[in-house]
Amino acid sequence: MLKDYEFWFVVGSQFLYGPQVLDTVAQRAQEMADRLNESGNLPCKLVYKATIKTNKEVTDVVREANYDSHCAGIITWCHTFSPSKMWINGFVDLQKPYCHFATQYNRSIPNEEIDMDFMNLNQAAHGDREHGFLAARLRMPRKVIAGYWQDEDVQKRIGSWMRSAIGVMFSRSLKVMRFGDNMREVAVTEGDKVETQIKLGWQVNTWPVGKLVETMDAVTDAEIDALMDTYKAEYDMATDDIETVRYQAREEIAMKKMLDAEGCMAFSNTFQDLYGMKQLPGLASQHLMAQGYGYGGEGDWKVAAMTAILKAMSEGQNGGTAFMEDYTYNLDPNAEYSLGAHMLEVCPSVAAARPRIEVHPLGIGDREAPARLVFEGHEGPAIVVSLIDMGGRMRLIVQDIEAVKPILPMPNLPVARVMWKAMPDLVTGVECWIAAGGAHHTVLSYDVTAEQMKDWAKMMDIEFVHISKDSTPEGIEEQLFLNDLAWKLK
């Protein structure tokens, strides 16, 4: 999907300096786009689009950007001064993600060469301030990135923001398939689907479980054989109960057919509505997640959609992104950890080693023992993400975590598991998370960063709360109080 998108480099200038300066600006902008593309630090192509000199040129490029389905955003920079009132009419219409890149062509001030011609041509420090004022005045949800364009860390920051913008584009066209409703009486998995579609673009709709069962019945043995070969290639078959595994393959094939027929990239189901099904999909949901589909248990369509979005944002990276649930704590003062798992459905993209296919009874759901993938999550810094409906607005909560090798083998735990240290520490982290109203279901990602989620939330115009190593319960509570006031006024 990343290859389907490009970003447009739009450079600000004006007629004041004559055609020679404008030619130089255009040549350099093209050179910068080429070099950035060659750097390997951008996930999507950067296309030099225009040097802006008039109001009409801005409105034209914005109009084109809005209607071009391949354009995922614009990145502006002012090589020279660019009087920014001429950007107003274009910017008020901009519907695509926007980044202001404050850089300059030359790294250093040349001692001998600097004269007034040089100053006219190279005044980004001056032009970017005029340009920045206008975007601030317009309250545009923009990303500002400053630094030298040839520096790797600067290029990587642009690349990172591009992934947030891809998350915006993906979100606006995301369709979510619900099999059954939410688990009865659960609060946090509910939400306003109309408000969500207005804000985030998601089309969340339901399909009957009976239709899924019909589709499952139509799956052929040959289709199941082919998927079984894939399972055997990717996982260790740690069970003799092959028929049970084949039933999961049947479920996966049927769900994938229905998802693909509707263009859905996320789905939810619930153990309370498996009418006509022999097993809760375990391996089936896990292998669909490994292919990029988002999943949410117990009808949790919000976490299903967020899982899909984070997977889209991290396409091509290999740390892994999974549906997750906080299950239980290790409160030993010398080893304070959270244990995350689910009754079956954790994505194997986060596995430390080759997952095993196992079959065990499931106490919940009143169905046959389902096949599932069992593995440990790998070590490393990661985030957990929760989107909640506060009534009138959505709040995105992100917590930094450090995943560790589980400190216990837990040989009788028949599900995939991830163990982590929450920031700033387990107890404070739990206090902050609960104060913010974060759900038990989350998306856990080793690839997507808190900064990327903050940028995404800003572009989607939703509230953002970050629990980091520097967070305190007092600080978070004060932020929540002020956010409440601010969002009531918005």
Rounded Cα distance between 93 and 90, Å, is 6
**Least distance from Mn ion to the Cβ atom of residue 98, Å:** 37
- Which range, of 282-290, 320-328, 371-379, 417-425, touches Mn ion by CB under 5 A? 320-328
Q: Print the binding letters for residues 4-43 with Mn ion: x by CB under 5 A, - otherwise.
A: ----------------------------------------
Span 321-340, contacts to Mn ion by CB under 5 A: 325
Q: Closer to Mn ion at the Cβ: 135 or 362?
A: 362
Taking each helix axis from N to C terminus, what angle separates 152-172 and 450-460, rounded to the nearest 10 degrees? 50
**CA atoms within a 13 Å half-sphere pointing along the CA-CB vector of 24:** 16
**Least distance from Mn ion to the Cβ atom of residue 183, Å:** 8
**How many chain residues are in contact with Mn ion, going by CB under 5 A?**
3
Q: Closer to Mn ion at the Cβ: 178 or 393?
A: 178
- Which range, of 239-247, 291-299, 304-312, 474-482, touches Mn ion by CB under 5 A? 291-299
**Least distance from Mn ion to the Cβ atom of residue 298, Å:** 5
Q: Closer to Mn ion at the Cβ: 298 or 400?
A: 298
**Least distance from Mn ion to the Cβ atom of residue 283, Å:** 17
**Least distance from Mn ion to the Cβ atom of residue 441, Å:** 6
Nearest 5°: phi and psi at 306?
-65, -35
**Least distance from Mn ion to the Cβ atom of residue 400, Å:** 22
The H or E element that residue 418 is part of is strand 417-422
- Amino acid of residue 76: T
- 3-class secondary-structure state, position 251: helix
282 near Mn ion, rule: CB under 5 A: no
For residue 339, give Cα distances in angstroms to 74, 308, 378, 407. 41, 23, 13, 10
The H or E element that residue 454 is part of is helix 450-460
- 3-class secondary-structure state, position 105: coil
299 near Mn ion, rule: CB under 5 A: no
Q: Closer to Mn ion at the Cβ: 365 or 424?
A: 365
- Which range, of 82-90, 131-139, 318-326, 395-403, touches Mn ion by CB under 5 A? 318-326
The per-residue DSSP string of 205-228 comes to EEE-HHHHHHHHHT--HHHHHHHH
297 near Mn ion, rule: CB under 5 A: yes
**Least distance from Mn ion to the Cβ atom of residue 297, Å:** 4
- Give the CA dihedral 303, 306, 312, 316, nearest 10 degrees: -60
**Least distance from Mn ion to the Cβ atom of residue 92, Å:** 43
- Give the CA dihedral 136, 138, 140, 142, nearest 10 degrees: -30
Is 349:290 a contact under the CB 8 Å cutoff? yes
For the beta sheet containing 71-78, the strands, ordered from the edge strand earlier in sequence to the opposite edge, are 45-52, 6-12, 71-78, 98-102, 142-146
The residue ranges that bind Mn ion (CB under 5 A) are 297-298, 325
